[in-house]
């Protein structure tokens, strides 16, 4: 950890990581249950049940990883950092009362 991080920044990062892991676990479990329920409750040949549950586990794992990456990539990081390319930055006009700085 950088010595320049404040306690509030470290707490915010901890909360964001926890949120990412909890929501990713939920998304992965839902993905596994939705896809795996076919192997459990649907009339399916026995030879298909194992591979179907394996594929369900892969879908759940992929959903978990995608959710963690997506949540942590959108975290802005420390305050005062550069805005990301996807952020919308509003600039104040140079002259109050005018809508265009060049007018």
> How much of the chain exceeds pLDDT 90, in percent?
38
Give the model's confidence band at 50: pLDDT under 50 very low, under 70 low, under 90 confident, else very high. Answer: confident
Helix axes 7-41, 46-74, angle to 10 degrees: 160
Q: Half-sphere exposure (CA, 13 Å, Cβ side) for 2?
A: 8
Task: Quick: pLDDT tens for 76-102.
Answer: 765 555 555 555 555 555 556 666 555
What is the reported pLDDT for 81?
57
Question: Which parts of 1-103 fold into alpha helices (H)?
Answer: 7-41, 46-74
Mean pLDDT (the chain) is: 80
* Total number of residues shown for the chain: 103
Q: Categorize the per-residue pLDDT at 39 as very low, low, confident or very high, splitting at 50, 70 and 90.
A: confident
The whole-angstrom separation of Cα 98 and Cα 103 is: 7
95 vs 59: CA distance, rounded Å? 54
pLDDT tier at 59 (50, 70, 90 boundaries)?
very high
């Amino acid at each position: 950890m950088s010595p320049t991080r404040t306690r509030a920044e470290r707490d915010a990062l901890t909360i964001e990581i926890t949120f990412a892991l909890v929501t990713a676990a939920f998304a992965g479990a839902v993905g596994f249950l939705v896809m795996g329920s076919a192997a459990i409750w649907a009339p399916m040949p026995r030879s298909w049940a194992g591979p179907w549950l394996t594929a369900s586990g892969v879908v759940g794992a992929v959903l978990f990883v995608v959710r963690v990456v997506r949540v942590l990539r959108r975290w802005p990081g420390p305050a005062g950092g550069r805005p990301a390319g996807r952020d919308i930055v509003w600039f104040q006009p140079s002259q109050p009362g005018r809508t265009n700085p060049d007018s």
